[in-house]
Amino acid sequence: MKRIKIKELFIANPVGTKVCIKGWVRTKRISKQVVFIMLNDGSTIHNLQIVTEPEKFAEDIMQHIATGVSLSVCGTVIASQGGNQAIELQADTIEILGTATDYPLQPKKHSLEFLREIAHLRFRTNTFSAVFRIRHAISYAIHQFFHEQGFVYLHTPIITAVDAEGAGEMFSVTTLNMEQLPKTPQGQVDFKRDFFGQKTSLTVSGQLEAEAAALGLAEVYTFGPTFRAENSNTTRHLAEFWMVEPEMAFYDLADNIALAERFLKYVIGFALEHCKDDLEFLQKRELDARVGKQTDKSFLPLLDRLDNILTYPFACISYTEAIDILKASQPNKEKKFAYPIDEWGCDLQSEHERYLVEKHFTKPVIITNYPRAIKAFYMHQQEDGKTVAAMDILFPGIGEIIGGSQREERLDKLTEAIQSMGMNSNILQWYLDTRLFGTVPHSGFGLGLERLVQFVTGMDNIRDVIPFPRTPGNAAF
Ligand code: 4AD
Ligand code: MG
């Protein structure tokens, strides 16, 4: 008999037909006359209830059925007597596929910290299966959005000799073991010649290669793993994350911003439309966790937070306006911020970003035209000589979700920026060539996939929205 997935079964409601289901036991309740097994197969947040009489089966089968055990069950779909579902399965045959002795995920509430320690098993929980189905839907929607707009999906290298952000936060890649690495005259390991004689690292961004492609294919995007050797132990940083980087020829900063806002609304709208059950489950989970806790009056349930993104236009201000708002929010220099804003030119701390997004505007905020000195070398320099055509998009509860800019398309300005930041222009010769031959104004941005998944699922910690998080001290599974 053909196997059917639980999600399809709930859609088809085929009362009276015979079907087979394969999945993992969530709970079992047994009495003399009847046994109820809740089975989940990963296709939906909902479990299928299996009902049968215990004496129909050999005693050792009934004894071995427990939480975590994998089963193949065939039987007849019947209308449910009570319960939450319209249908259940009256079992004729039950086969145990795999037993689960001392299974750590017994049916009770487990902390997310505990589940992180068994990341290989957490796919079997409601919370994580919902999160990863939503992560999939978001990834799918990202490809669909760009495909519909005529963008070309570009695969950029993972191993590279170029520090695309110029921030020196790269993981070295080596083809040799420590003993084989060449030594400096002082006897120290010479990491400068580690990749078949060349110094290489894992990529921090596919942007520079995407720029080269955009100056030929016009509109491209990358979507791949990205690595940052920053030792940040926060709920927003990973050493390995997935970044989406569109790059568009003939776009200025305003075109770039418009695309980014449309893109975020499209992807969040897609998740709302296609992941309703999972989002409702996560919303309830979040609301349950708040019961009895001090309530923040501005708190909105998850689905309302997502709806609001679609409903309201994002705020858009310049860095200079942001500084003015922040300064005005601390009258008489009363210390409202741990890092008071005194000077034009300083980078915004996350507490400043949160103030702007969560207190001042209460919606996403796009900040443009940052000081040149705090942004990367490739950004388009503005006429004022002080700012660059940058844009960051900040989201409630998340902070920076997108970083982007119009690019410096003028060879002389770009060369000067590379040199003034002390970067190696030899290695960037190919990049400079793109400005030498047929250069055009162009723009792009980078979205951190995990931060978007955090926003859509309401998960607090970035480690809980990527299957196997890579953070300092965490690379085992
Ligand atoms: O602002 P970032 O560093 O910008 C770039 O890499 C540009 N090359 C993008 C471009 O213009 N093509 O990173 C972009 C986004 C951030 O806004 C954030 O969402 C995410 O990538 N991000 C991280 N996410 C998780 N962990 C980290 N360590 C991250 N660093 C950046
Ligand atoms: Mg950034």
Nearest protein CA to atom 20 of ligand 1, as residue: 448
Position 207 pLDDT exceeds 80 = yes
Q: Phi-psi bin for 130: left (phi > 0), alpha (psi -120 to 50), beta?
A: alpha
Position 214 pLDDT exceeds 90 = yes
Query: Which residues of 398-470 form beta strands (DSSP E)?
Result: 399-406, 442-448
Same structural domain, 93 and 157 = no
Same structural domain, 262 and 408 = yes
Nearest protein CA to atom 24 of ligand 1, as residue: 448
Q: Is 194 a member of any domain?
A: no
Number of Cβ atoms within 10 Å of the Cβ of 473: 7
Q: Is 108 a member of any domain?
A: no
Same structural domain, 92 and 136 = no
Same structural domain, 56 and 147 = no
Atom of ligand 1 nearest to the CA of 243: 21
Mutate to test the pocket of ligand 1, among 205, 240, 243 (most ligand atoms within 8 A of CB): 243
Q: What is the mean pLDDT of the chain?
A: 93
Residue 408: name the closest of 396, 395, 421 by CA.
Answer: 421
Atom of ligand 1 nearest to the CA of 445: 11
Dist CA 242 CA 451 (whole Å):
10
Nearest protein CA to atom 7 of ligand 1, as residue: 446
% pLDDT > 70, the chain: 96
The domain of 346 spans: 124-169+204-464
Same structural domain, 145 and 291 = yes
Q: Is 192 a member of any domain?
A: no
The answer to whether the CB of 441 is under 6 A from ligand 1 is no
**For the complex shown, is ipTM > 0.90?**
yes
Dihedral over Cα of 304, 306, 311, 313: its sign: positive
Q: Is 78 a member of any domain?
A: yes
From ligand 2's centre to the CA of 404, what distance in Å?
Answer: 7
Position 168 pLDDT exceeds 90 = no
The answer to whether the CB of 402 is under 6 A from ligand 1 is yes
CB 195 within 8 A of CB 159: yes
Q: Which residue has the tokens 């209460």?
A: 362
From ligand 1's centre to the CA of 448, what distance in Å?
Answer: 6
Q: Is 18 a member of any domain?
A: yes
Same structural domain, 33 and 128 = no
What's the Cα-to-Cα distance from 283 to each of 128, 154, 266, 276, rounded to whole Å?
14, 35, 21, 10
Same structural domain, 370 and 235 = yes
Residues 278-292 as b/e (b if ≥16 CB within 10 A, e otherwise) read bbebbbebbeeeeee
Choose one of 63, 98, 133: the last residue of a domain. Answer: 98
The domain total for the chain is 2
Q: Is 34 a member of any domain?
A: yes
CB 105 within 8 A of CB 124: yes
CATH of the domain at 85: 2.40.50.140
From ligand 1's centre to the CA of 228, what distance in Å?
Answer: 9
CB 258 within 8 A of CB 156: no
Nearest protein CA to atom 2 of ligand 1, as residue: 403
The answer to whether the CB of 418 is under 6 A from ligand 1 is no
Choose one of 98, 113, 136: the last residue of a domain. Answer: 98
- pLDDT band with cut points at 50, 70 and 90 for residue 193: low
Same structural domain, 131 and 11 = no
Q: Where are the alpha helices (DSSP H) in 275-301?
A: 276-290
From ligand 2's centre to the CA of 63, what distance in Å?
Answer: 55
Give the pLDDT mean for 45-59. 93
Same structural domain, 305 and 371 = yes
CATH of the domain at 155: 3.30.930.10
From ligand 2's centre to the CA of 259, what distance in Å?
Answer: 18
Structure tokens at 340: 């008071």
The answer to whether the CB of 220 is under 6 A from ligand 1 is no
Distance of CA 336 to the CA centre of its chain: 32
Residue 340's pLDDT is 79
Same structural domain, 41 and 152 = no
Same structural domain, 374 and 446 = yes
Position 458 pLDDT exceeds 60 = yes
Dist CA 210 CA 444 (whole Å):
9
Q: Is 474 a member of any domain?
A: no
The answer to whether the CB of 165 is under 6 A from ligand 1 is yes
pLDDT per residue as tens digits for the range 356-404: 999 999 999 999 999 999 999 999 999 999 999 999 999 999 999 999 9
Residue 293's pLDDT is 85
Same structural domain, 363 and 460 = yes
The answer to whether the CB of 261 is under 6 A from ligand 1 is no
Q: Is 376 a member of any domain?
A: yes
Structure tokens at 364: 């996403």
Tell me the ligand closest to 204's alpha carbon: 1
